[in-house]
Structure formats: C-alpha cells, structure tokens
Amino acid sequence: MLVMKFGGTSVGDRERIDTVVALIRSRLDRKPIVVCSAHSGVTDLLLTGARRAAAGKPDLDPIRAREESLLRDLNLSPQLVADDLERLDQMFRGLALLGELTPRSLDQVAAFGERMSVKAIAAVLRKRRIPATAVDADEAGLVTDGRFGRAVPLPEAYPLLKRSLAAVKGVPVVTGFIGRDKDGNVTTLGRSGSDYSATIIGRAVAAEEVEIWTDVSGVLTADPRVVPKARPVEALTYAEASELAYYGAKVIHPATIQPAVEKGIPVRILNTLAPKAPGTVIGPAKGRRTARVTSIASKRGIHLVNVVSGRMLGQPGFMATVFDVFKRHDVSVDLIATSEVSITVSVDDPEGLPRVTADLGELGSVTVREGASLIAVIGERMKEASGLAGQVFTAIGAAGVPVLAISYGATKTNLQIVVPTERDHDVVRALHAELFEQP
C-alpha cells in the first residue's frame, strides 16, 4: 500500500489536478491511499472569513467563488460542495451573532477546506474511470487530543483508521489536516498538517512508502525563496528531516516524520510540476550516506531569554530550577547556551513568556531580546567533518553579522546560530555559498 499526499498547489487548479490523476493512475497497482490538502489559498480564506464573521462581517463569497470556479474548470457540478458551503454560511452567521471566535470554532471552520477538496478530487477520479471515495479523516477514526490548532493523534487512531480505510470502495481520498477529539469536536493538526495526516495514515496501514507531492523537487539545501540557488537533497535521515522541519523549512510539517519512524516507512518528497525528478527520500540512518551538511533552515520571531545569576556557580540543580519555570508555563525552548554565571535560551512562541520572566526574576537578572532569528545548519555526518564550525563562523564574520548565541550539541546533527532578524537572510545566503556552492 502506498500513501500519496497532494499539497494545496498540487490540487489548486485544473492543470495540476490532471497531473494528480495521472500520477494516481500510474500507481494503482500499489493500492494508493490519497491524502489531500485544501485547494491552495482556501485555508487562508476560511481563517480570514471566520475572523471577519466574528467581527460582524460574515461573507462567504470569496470562498464560494474559489470553490465554484475550480469545480467549473473541472466540469463538476457546484452541488458537490453545496452542503459544505451552506454549513459554513450558517457558522459564519453564528459567529457574527456571538461576536467571538474560539479556537474550537476556528478549527471547525478551517476543516472545510479539506472536506471540499477531497470531494472534488474523488469526483474527478471517478469521472476519469478510477473508482474513488472521498473520506473525512475525522469520521474515519483520526482521533486526536483536544488541542485545537495543534492536535496530535491518540494511539487508538491507528487501528480505527486501518479498519475504516480497508472498507472504503475504490481509492480512498482522505482529508489531510483534520481529526476529531474524543468529545467529537473537530481538531486540526496545525498549518501544513496534511503532511502529518499522510504519515499517520501511512503508519495506520503499514504503507510501503509515503509520497508527499508538492511544488518543489524535494527538500532543498535551503528555502528557495531565500536562496534561489538552493538545490534538491537526494537523501535525508529521519533525524535530519525532523530537525529541518522543526527549524523552519516549510516543506514538511514538523511532526511528519514521527509516525514514519515508528514503522520505518520511507517518506519521499516529490514535485507535481516535475513528476520525473527523483525528489528526496527520507528514511532510517542505517546504510544511508547523506552529505556532510544536508541543509540550512531558519526561523524568525525568536526571543532570546538570558538569565544571569551569581548563585549559579557550583550549584547543582540550578538548571533544573530554570527549566522547571519554562515547563510550568508550557513554554518550549529550542537553543540552550550556558556559561558559569549565565544561561541563554531561545523561545519561538512568546505566549507565556511574561510569566516565565517574572518567575525567572526570582533566580537572577533576566533580559529578553526580541527580533532574532534562529539558523540551523543540519547534517548527521557533520560530526565527522573537522573545521566545519570554523567555516561557518568565518562566513558569518565575513558577512559582517553579529552572532547573538550559538549551540552545537553533543550529537552534532545541528549547529544553531541566533542572529538579528534584519540580517538573517544574508547569513543563510553566506552559509549556503560557503557550504554548498564551492567547486
């Protein structure tokens, strides 16, 4: 069995959908399960629509227009999504009356993008004589915890999905992005969550492979919008791909790799615009010869929290006390750098930070620096390479950018550098030139 996930751009217009149909047809002997995102732009329209509705301006027109024009292009009847649009219309009116938008309603609204998209794709497949059924993942057993906007599957989701997908007639075309908590509330797995849905389903059915079809020819050595010369990486280990996603490479959702690791399923990133390109294969480290450095990722909106305390000297348990504060306020940290008297950590979600700094103030003097970006140089084989850190810092120095913090852990899969956001792209480009563009 094979899972094929198509992202928003891949199901965004008639031409791409033609390619999607051809790709599915070419793999019918591998019993594909298809996972789809919303048509490109629709999730944004839904989120904006919900916010406007709660502000007293319910307006379904932009969403209706996008869906209906795509259906017309596909020679499908607008009736296909009439019920969904009707329900959305009611929800928008309800939000306008209430005047407030809870995370729960936001997820419920956001889920409609995928619900409508799978109906369209399944209908196109049937029209082209490939038996197919649209499946709502939440109804098919994708049970999650109740964290709206960032839900994760519960263990029972796997056997439930396996059972319900086995009963589907023809090719199952399953909604990405969405699930349902134990109380029946719709939940979403976070932006870009359809990648995660694909590996969750892959794990449930013990798929031979998960293909993630997107608009670039694999994972690239850097974000192509920052480094136009970035090129596809042939192979990545699970650890490298997880770090890359976590540190900001938008190409896959950060949690995508976890379910694949648990069953050792290879994940392949492929390009709907260039289906013959080999793409990137992500798999176990054993026997895999990946490059010394495989990629560079970067993430903005970083806050650097620095705690200076004379009391730290020689005090066992001080670190535990500091991290306990972060834990208590549910604030997760990325980079950690320490000296005898100070500790610096980076945080990418400022919610909860005021409470953290108030508590840390009891332990020492605290400063927070905003406007920073974290850059991660990733490669499991980095540890075998001597002189890499020197190369990295020389390149950053030559670009004239100050380094605010660094961390190079014992496993050395990942060298993290924090720099001011106004120069972060310069640093990514300088590092890319140094590490990937030398003859």
Site of tokens 């379904």: 60
d(CA 19, CA 34): 14
Among 32, 58, 141, 176, binds ligand ASP (CB under 6 A): 176
**Could you say which of Mg ion, ligand ADP, ligand ASP, none residue 177 binds, taking C-beta under 5 to 8 angstroms by partner kind?**
ligand ASP
Question: Which residue's CB is nearer to ligand ADP, number 52 or number 231?
Answer: 231
| Site size toward ligand ASP, by CB under 6 A | 12
Binding residue for ligand ASP (CB under 6 A) from 6, 177, 213, 247? 177
187 contributes a contact to Mg ion by CB under 5 A: no
Cβ-based nearer residue to ligand ADP, 35 or 401: 35
Closer of 13 and 59 to ligand ADP (Cβ): 13
Q: Should residue 215 be labelled a site residue for ligand ADP when binding is judged by CB under 6 A?
A: yes
**Nearest residue to ligand ADP, by Cβ distance, number only:** 7
Task: Mark 270-306 as b/e (b = at least 16 C-beta within 10 Å).
Answer: bbbbeeeeebbbbbeeeebebbebbbbbbbeebbbbb
Amino acid residing at 205? V
Q: Which is nearer to Mg ion, 17 or 337 (CB)?
A: 17
Closest CA relative to residue 283, chosen from 301, 304, 307, 257: 257
Of 187 and 217, the one with the shorter C-beta distance to ligand ADP is 217
Residues facing 308 on adjacent strands: 342, 365
Is 144 among the residues that bind ligand ASP (CB under 6 A)? no
Distance between CA 243 and CA 233 in Å, rounded?
A: 15
Nearer to Mg ion, 188 or 192 (CB): 192
Site string (16-45) toward ligand ASP, x via CB under 6 A:
---------------------xx----x--
* Interactions with ligand ASP, residue window 103-122 (CB under 6 A): 113
Decide if residue 194 touches ligand ASP (CB under 6 A). yes
- Stretch 162-201 residues interacting with ligand ADP (CB under 6 A): 192
3-class secondary structure, 307: strand
Part in contact with ligand ADP (CB under 6 A); list of ranges 108-116, 244-252, 371-379, 393-401: 244-252
Task: Quote the least distance from Cβ 295 to ligand ADP, whole Å.
Answer: 6
Name which of 12, 4, 22, 112 is nearest 63 in CA terms.
112
What single DSSP character describes residue 312?
G
Sort strands 280-283 and 267-271 into parallel, antiparallel or unpaired: antiparallel
> Measured on CA atoms in the order 105, 110, 111, 112, is the torsion positive or negative?
positive
- Within a 13 Å sphere around the CA of 344, how many CA atoms are in the beta-carbon half? 16
User: C-beta of 358: minimal distance to Mg ion in Å?
Assistant: 37
CA 44 – CA 30 distance, rounded (Å): 34
Q: In the complex, what is the shortest distance from the CB of residue 178 to ligand ADP, in angstroms, rounded to a whole number? A: 15
Q: Determine if 290 is a binding residue for ligand ADP (CB under 6 A).
A: no
Q: Residue 353 is which amino acid? A: L
Q: Distance between CA atoms of 149 and 50, rounded to whole angstroms?
A: 14
Comparison of 267 and 325: residue with beta carbon closer to ligand ADP: 267
Tokens of 160: 């439930």
Judged by CB under 5 A, the number of residues near Mg ion is 2
291 binds ligand ADP (CB under 6 A): no
Residue 197 vs 346, nearer CB to ligand ADP: 197
Closest by Cα among 333, 309, 353, 350 to 405: 333
Contact string 252-291 vs ligand ASP (x = CB under 6 A): ----------------------------------------
Residue 12 binds to ligand ASP (criterion: CB under 6 A): no
The site partner of 38 among ligand ADP, ligand ASP, Mg ion, none (C-beta below 5 to 8 Å per kind) is ligand ASP
Whose structure tokens read 């319900």?
164
Q: 10 Å Cβ neighbour count for 26?
A: 11
Phi first, then psi: what are they for 337, rounded to 5°? -130, 135
In 3D, which of 256, 209, 245 has the Cα closest to residue 37?
A: 256
Contacts (Cβ under 8 Å, ≥6 apart) of 316: none
Residues that bind Mg ion (CB under 5 A): 7, 192
Q: List interacting residues with ligand ADP (CB under 6 A).
A: 7-10, 37, 192, 214-216, 219-220, 222-225, 249-251, 295
Q: Which residues bind ligand ASP (CB under 6 A)?
A: 7-8, 37-38, 43, 113, 176-177, 191-194
